[in-house]
Structure 1
């Protein structure tokens, strides 16, 4: 929940509990814009939660795309925006059976903004010396040496 959403929620909650005589007073206290808070009380949906009818991906496809992105990041392979766009185009092509459907230029940025679990990051170059030190055979040999020394000298 963003800071603004929290302000709206606090103002509405305080007003509903009767801590303030008017919604305007609650909005002033919690520094929340009155018109937006009033709209929320009347049932308006936050803009970021609004699902347009012409939405490109289904909810299931969006969650699959998010899982793919997070799994790639967990493996140390950050996903670039062009890769997200290509994967989205592939999902659309598979679902519709129509030729290449291309998402818009700002679609990926808006997709990332819509989902709290996603963040953009800058990638760093991976140092060759560092990568060489992370070689599993070198690490395994080092631990084997430590194990032998512990066994040889009876170190606990």
Structure 2
């Protein structure tokens, strides 16, 4: 919290406790700007807590969306912008009950710009050797990926094969 924010908080607290008869007196005592303190008493949101209009999702929803995207990428399934938009629309639909709210046309691009952990990645080229599975390093990498996912999510091997 900055010095100015602390002064405003002290002035509001003292005024609400009845230590001062007027807000102006509390602001003068704590050297807080009167107009900002008055706005806060009337319910204004501090600028650091203000969420712009283009951020339709809450912080929790955005972090869940990021985790989903990174988990899909770890599984070898890169997420396209359409999929991100659909997931964001689904999160909004579950949270809101009034009508259908969707994210805007440029929302995904702005979302990616806001989060440093996200960036565009290209998938591997699908070549003939990979299609024929003749390259042992590719096969080994695939089974390493499957093993990591089994370990990460605690999948139990109840049977010998894929079919129970």
TM-score w.r.t. the length of structure 1 is 0.51
Cα distance 1:100–1:35, how it changes in 2: closer, same or farther (>3 A)?
closer
| CA gap 1:22/1:100 in 2 versus in 1, 3 angstroms | closer
Work out whether residues 14 and 26 of structure 1, in 8 Å CA contact, stay in contact via their aligned partners in 2. yes
Structure 1 residue 135, shift from structure 2 partner? 9.7
Cα distance 1:98–1:29, how it changes in 2: closer, same or farther (>3 A)?
closer
CA RMSD of aligned residues (A): 10.8
The aligned length equals: 156
1:64 aligns with 2:64: yes
Unmatched segments (≥5 aa) in structure 2: 157-164
Are the counterparts in 2 of residues 11 and 30 from structure 1 also a CA contact under 8 Å? yes
Does the 8 Å contact 1:48/1:114 carry over to 2? no
Counterpart CA distance in 2 for 1:55 and 1:145 is 34
Partner Cα separation in structure 2 for residue 97 and residue 153 of structure 1: 33
85-94 or 16-25: which moved more? 16-25
Unpaired runs of 5+ in structure 1?
Answer: none
Aligned partner of 1:73 in structure 2 is 73
Could you tell which deviates more after superposition, 83-92 or 19-28? 19-28
Instruction: Work out whether residues 8 and 32 of structure 1, in 8 Å CA contact, stay in contact via their aligned partners in 2.
Output: yes
After superposition, the Cα gap between the structure-2 partners of 1:143 and 1:31, relative to the gap in structure 1 and judged at 3 Å, is farther
- Residue 102 of structure 1: how far off its partner (Å): 1.5
Q: More deviation in 115-124 or 146-155?
A: 146-155
1:3 deviates by: 27
CA contact (8 A) 2:75 2:145 kept: no
Measured in 1, the distance between the counterparts of 2:109 and 2:153 equals 59
Superposed CA offset, 1:105-135 (max 9, x none)? 1100000000010001233442353144279
